[in-house]
Amino acid sequence: MTNQLKEYFQKWKKIVDQGLNTYLPPSSSNTILKAMRYSVFAGGKRLRPILVIAGAQICNLDGKKALPTACALEMIHTYSLIHDDLPAMDDDDLRRGRPTNHKVFGEGIAILAGDALLTYAFDLIAKNGKMLGQNCPLAFVVESIAQGAGFKGMVGGQALDLRMDKGRWLKQKPKKQIEILKKVHESKTASLIEASLVSGAYLADAGQDKIKKLLSYGKKIGLAFQIADDILDLIGDKKLLGKKGSDLENKKLTFPAIFGIEKSKTKAAQLIQEAKEELKVFGKKAQILKDLADYIVERTY
Amino acid sequence: MTNQLKEYFQKWKKIVDQGLNTYLPPSSSNTILKAMRYSVFAGGKRLRPILVIAGAQICNLDGKKALPTACALEMIHTYSLIHDDLPAMDDDDLRRGRPTNHKVFGEGIAILAGDALLTYAFDLIAKNGKMLGQNCPLAFVVESIAQGAGFKGMVGGQALDLRMDKGRWLKQKPKKQIEILKKVHESKTASLIEASLVSGAYLADAGQDKIKKLLSYGKKIGLAFQIADDILDLIGDKKLLGKKGSDLENKKLTFPAIFGIEKSKTKAAQLIQEAKEELKVFGKKAQILKDLADYIVERTY
């Protein structure tokens, strides 16, 4: 990670955390709010909100003016983790070394806390729209996020992942396996990363040429990010990841499961290279997003 | 039900059903879409979408121009039923006489189908914003729906209901029981009914005076609607309701459980009377909403 990127992350992570703390005020009496806060403040990197801010900045909007939407994306990401960890889905007891939401609050409240985070995200996006007034194409912001998170995006990817879990993907022909793998990763992970960047750009009232470049960059780093995550699952410290079983034990459909670690690393590196090339149109303003792309695969070295 | 209201419901239910069928196209290959359609087309009355349309019309917008948002409200209502029926919540095997979503598709897909419906709702609201252009205060539309459906509204009410279920409310003092009961009903049921009416009014770019009247009308009919539902649960045909156990058997916190059937009927009738009075500002345009208010309690006679 370059020093510039490190400072950028430190600065904006702090601002995002403050934003989340304001939007989700501590409460001793409201169970649902407690459950929402528990998972939101479980130590995430805040990658998605920082991508919203970077997407806004690269299109010439002050990053702070995208803060409600940035926090909204973190809430959507968190809700997806809470629901993903449920017994009916991945059935994980631990996340980042801490008990998962349903282990602490029970399944019913965990489902509702996820629902509430997803719903509150759109409230915050609306707040951002009010803040920016007439110049903000709010319909495009809402649409890009709803589509990225919805049945054609993240939720669709999770559903396909669920259908293919416990080794069920092994029953498909090799060519079909690769097709499914790409579809799962693009929709489960890349979609929300794309939506983060693009919603920031829309808040900045960016033109379609820039939106398209950020979409393409987002899809590529999103895919590389998931490949890197799957490699880390194989080579990383289990305690650090805080997961119950490895993807290998769970017979998960992943890039390294099909292509092996070396080929997966090469694929991720290639995607990062391509992603950075998409940013030429932004000139010097692209440095943070270029460094961020490199950082995604660095984690696996 | 007056003839005029009957015709109105028939006309708009058909249009809403067509809208839902367009937005959720039949699919043989996409499991998540199949699960979404299964519950959306399970025979609902389409009360909430019709309230969106009526809210728009009473504020002088062509009802069809509110159709995407109307369909969005039905999707939010449907998602709440799918999640509510889950084993971790009400644990219902049947709804309207048919197996519940998780009984057909499994818990994981049912959770995701709910998530997808909630997310898609905001996509449709954005579409409506695009359709109406600059004159539509989209931020207010999104905000009213997200708040009505969120942790201060519907989801918050469900969480409180869950915490008080299986007779746990009986441990509270009588005064506190009534307080909780009112809070559960206002947030669980009335909030989304208010949001339906008000989002329609915002689509019509209505002023705050009209919004306030519709909010108050919505809160009152929403509360009366829930009281009526609870009375029906006690006196109605179980097969018709398609539920597993009665509220009485489940020791649910309801109006008739605390006040008895007669007092509950009087309370509902009083709320309806008050609700209709809120509509004076709309003159003759208010007839449909007045008839609808009456219909809500008529069901219990």
**What is the pLDDT, as a whole number, of residue A277?**
98
Q: What is the pLDDT of residue A17?
A: 98
- Residues B91-109 have a mean pLDDT of 95
A interface mutation test: which of B151, B152, B154 has the most A CBs within 10 A? Answer: B151
As given in the structure block, the two tokens for residue B62 are 């062509």
- Answer for the pair B223, B178: CB distance below 8 angstroms, yes or no: no
Q: Flag the least confident range among A113-122, B241-250, B261-270.
A: B241-250
Nearest chain A CA: its distance from B230 CA (Å) = 22
Task: Tell me which residues of chain A, numbers 65 to 94, contact chain B at a CB-CB cutoff of 8 Å.
Answer: 79, 83, 86-89
**Averaged pLDDT for residues B10-15:** 98
pLDDT score at B299: 76
> Distance between CA atoms of B103 and B99, rounded to whole angstroms?
6
Is A229 within 8 Å of A269 (Cβ atoms)?
no
Question: What b/e sequence results for B178-200 when a residue is b if at least 16 CB atoms lie within 10 Å of its CB, and e otherwise?
Answer: eebbeebbbbbbbbbbbbbbbbb
> What residue of A is the nearest CA neighbor of B122?
A146
Average pLDDT over residues B12-25: 97
> How many whole angstroms separate alpha carbon B171 and alpha carbon B238?
28
Complex ipTM tops 0.85 = yes
Question: Which residues have C-beta within 8 Å of that of residue B282, sequence separation ≥ 6?
Answer: B58, B210, B213, B289
- Name the average pLDDT for chain B: 93
Any chain A CB within 8 A of the CB of B112? Answer: yes
User: Token match 């649910």: residue?
Assistant: B252
Which residues in A lie closer than 8 A to residue B88 (C-beta atoms)? Answer: 106-108, 110-111
**For residue A134, pLDDT beyond 90:** no
**What mean pLDDT is predicted for residues B99-127?**
98
Mark out the alpha helices in chain A (DSSP H runs): 3-23, 31-40, 47-58, 67-85, 101-105, 107-132, 138-149, 154-163, 174-185, 191-203, 208-235, 238-241, 255-259, 261-277, 287-298
Judge contact between B74 and B44, C-beta under 8 A. yes
Q: What is the rounded CA–CA span in Å between residue A132 and residue A137?
A: 9
**Three-class SS state of A154:** helix
* pLDDT, tens digit (0-9, with 9 covering 90-100), for A40-80: 999 989 999 999 999 999 999 999 999 999 999 999 999 99
Q: DSSP for A52-121? A: HHHHHHHTT--GGGGHHHHHHHHHHHHHHHHHHHSTTTT--SEETTEE-HHHHH-HHHHHHHHHHHHHHH
To the question of domain B3-298 being in CATH 1.10.600.10, the answer is yes
**What would the mean pLDDT of B5-20 be, rounded to a whole number?**
97
What tens digit of pLDDT does each residue of A147-176 get? 999 999 999 999 999 988 888 888 999 999
CB contact under 8 A, B146 and A83: no
CB under 8 Å to B178, separation ≥6 — which residues? Answer: B258
- The per-residue pLDDT for B165 is 83
Residues present in chain B in total: 301
Residues in B touching A79 (Cβ below 8 Å)? 115
Does the pLDDT of residue B241 top 60, yes or no?
no
Pairing of strands A94-95, B94-95: unpaired
The residue of chain B nearest to residue A29, with distances taken between CA atoms, is B160
Q: With a cut of 90, say whether residue A88 has pLDDT above it.
A: yes
CB contact under 8 Å between B142 and A146, yes or no, is: no
The answer, yes or no, to whether residue B242 has pLDDT greater than 60, is no
Closest to B45 (Cα-Cα) out of B225, B213, B246, B169: B225
Average confidence (pLDDT) over B26-31: 84
Domain regions of chain A by residue span: 3-298
- Count the neighbouring beta carbons within 10 Å of the beta carbon of residue B3: 8
pLDDT, residue A21, reads 97
Beta bridge partners of B95: B98
Chain A contact present for B26, CB below 8 A:
no
pLDDT tens by residue, A211-251: 999 999 999 999 999 999 999 888 876 555 555 567 777 78
* B contacts of A81 (beta carbons < 8 Å): none
Q: Of B33, B107, B122, which is closest to A151 when you measure between CB atoms?
A: B33
Q: Verify whether the Cβ–Cβ distance A127 to B139 is below 8 Å.
A: yes
Residue A235 confidence (pLDDT): 83
pTM over 0.90: yes
